[in-house]
Structure 1
Amino acid sequence: MIFGSVGTNLNGGSLAGEGFLGALRRLAGSGADFVEVGPHELGAMLGGELVPERVRSLERALSGAGVVYTVHAPHAINLMDPEDPAAHLDMLRASVRFAGRIGAPVVVCHAGRREPHHARWRPAERLAREAAALREVGRLAEELGVTIAVENSYPEPPVVAGRASAPAARPSALAERVAGVDHPAVRACLDVGHAAVSATLLGYDLLEECAVLGPLTAHVHLHDNLGRPEPRPGMSLPERLASGFGDLHLPPGRGTIPLQRLLAESGLPEGVSCCVELAPGFEEAVPEALSEARRLGAAAVVAGG
């Protein structure tokens, strides 16, 4: 079994109607080893700082839900942002502190990118800034027993249209960045769904690219899609599911990603954590998806020799 633990995510769809404690208990009962939570989605962060009273309340609630956790930092974090880098650094630092408070061993953080509104953009300078920020927060993470897992980018519609750039959409580029940070508490998160869509857009070999990032990976986001880049912004999830475009977050096996071969050839270290990251609406599929992830993890060890 290549995965040391297999969990799933707590998303907005999970929270609708039953409250987050009910959702956590349901996910724990579905066989998840852990649940991935976002401090920003739980009201624990304001202006890049943790909200003390909310965090105390969450500590009590989360500890009583019968499950362990990983953390997903705010999606808005962009450590390459040239306009307000301190705000992004603060959000990551707060996410790591939140992980320390709830005993989460991993914090997932999206890799830096150029947004459409970034007028001043010097790539080498911004990459150096991202590396410095990750080293800085990496020291805090190491003190708290947390690993920061930097995630390969999803090519959002502005990237598809050429109005933005996401260099870490190519897993080998992220591998180079993580290796350059050279800190034991900073590793990679391999998001196989992001990589599949990016492979179509950028024309790279999915398996070869993932094999470059695999050895640096501490955490995997496992889900499925059809490998079709999203042509325009603003498409709802039902529209994207109907058309097959974009980052669909399907249960493993419902899309076209060659997951078993990808995992077998990825060079992932044994014992990495795996979050089966599903879109809202797939709550009933969680037990089946967790079981499939474990099957894939076991098959990857056999196939990889």
Structure 2
Amino acid sequence: LFELAEFCKPNGVRVALENIFTTEPGQYRQTPAEVAATVKAVGHDNLVALIDFSHAYLESTYRGLDFREQLRAMAPVAGHLHVHDSFGRPQGFYEAYFTQENTALGIGDLHMPLGWGDIEWASIFSELTFLPGTVLMMEISRRYRAEQPASLKTAQHLMSLNAVGTQLAAE
């Protein structure tokens, strides 16, 4: 990771190490706090953490961790954020026949519009501080295209709650 970050340095590129969630028993996954520890251990300005809030919520629920504590660990080294809503209920290691089943049951990585799940966005963004130049990217699924403008307004409000100059990208 250090070598990759060093390679990126001359071009001003930052490598972002994303937290992910367990999808089947026996997988190795770093917790969000462990991702933060890895970034700190590498100690290179061109390596940052990427907080995917829904992923952190799912993995915290699965492992019985404090979701907010995991976010607090990542925030000081976070330079990229993925926002989309969910309920933090792990999938249970099965695939639904229809995506709508997951939404109806509130399980999995739902990529719902901000405010549709139960992530406490305003209090999270009021509490945490991210690295300068952090990019916030909405990952609202195509299924909710009509709701993306409202999520964009919510994301802009969240950025105003945070102390650093966060850039916004929508996907």
TM class by shorter chain equals: 0.7 to 0.9
Give the structure 1 partner of residue 50 of structure 2: 189
Give the structure 2 partner of residue 91 of structure 1: none
Give the structure 1 partner of residue 3 of structure 2: 136
Amino acid at match of 2:127: E
- Out of 143, 150, 153, the position equivalent to 1:291 is 153
2:38 corresponds to 1:177: yes
Counterparts of 1:270 and 1:140, CA distance in 2: 21
Shift of the alpha carbon at 1:140? 2.0
CA root-mean-square deviation: 1.5
Counterparts of 2:16 and 2:160, CA distance in 1: 23
2:76 corresponds to 1:215: yes
Give the structure 1 partner of residue 92 of structure 2: 231
Q: Compare 185-194 and 281-290 and name the one that shifted more.
A: 281-290
Contact kept, 8 Å, 1:207 with 1:265, in 2: the verdict is: no
Q: Are residues 194 and 293 of structure 1, via their aligned partners in 2, closer, same or farther at CA, if it must alter by over 3 Å? A: same
Report SS of the residue matched to 2:143: coil
Counterparts of 1:149 and 1:296, CA distance in 2: 21
Counterparts of 1:233 and 1:141, CA distance in 2: 38
Contact kept, 8 Å, 2:33 with 2:70, in 1: the verdict is: yes
Counterparts of 1:230 and 1:268, CA distance in 2: 29
Contact kept, 8 Å, 2:79 with 2:132, in 1: the verdict is: no
Counterparts of 2:42 and 2:107, CA distance in 1: 34
How does 1:1-305 map onto structure 2 within 5 Å?
Answer: 134-156=1-23, 158=24, 162-167=25-30, 170-235=31-96, 236-301=98-163
User: How many residue pairs are counted as aligned between the two chains?
Assistant: 162
**TM-score, normalisation: structure 1:** 0.51
**TM-score, normalisation: structure 2:** 0.88
Q: Are residues 185 and 270 of structure 1, via their aligned partners in 2, closer, same or farther at CA, if it must alter by over 3 Å? A: closer
Deviating above 4 A after TM superposition, structure 1's stretches of 4 or more consecutive aligned residues are none
Counterparts of 1:252 and 1:279, CA distance in 2: 11
Contact kept, 8 Å, 2:52 with 2:81, in 1: the verdict is: yes
Amino acid at match of 2:28: S
Amino acid at match of 1:193: S
Report SS of the residue matched to 2:34: helix
Shift of the alpha carbon at 1:300? 4.0
Contact kept, 8 Å, 1:260 with 1:300, in 2: the verdict is: no
Shift of the alpha carbon at 1:296? 1.7
Shift of the alpha carbon at 1:155? 2.1
Give the structure 1 partner of residue 168 of structure 2: none
Shift of the alpha carbon at 1:270? 4.6
Contact kept, 8 Å, 1:207 with 1:266, in 2: the verdict is: no
Amino acid at match of 2:121: L
Contact kept, 8 Å, 2:51 with 2:81, in 1: the verdict is: yes
Amino acid at match of 1:250: M
Shift of the alpha carbon at 1:238? 2.0
Report SS of the residue matched to 1:281: helix
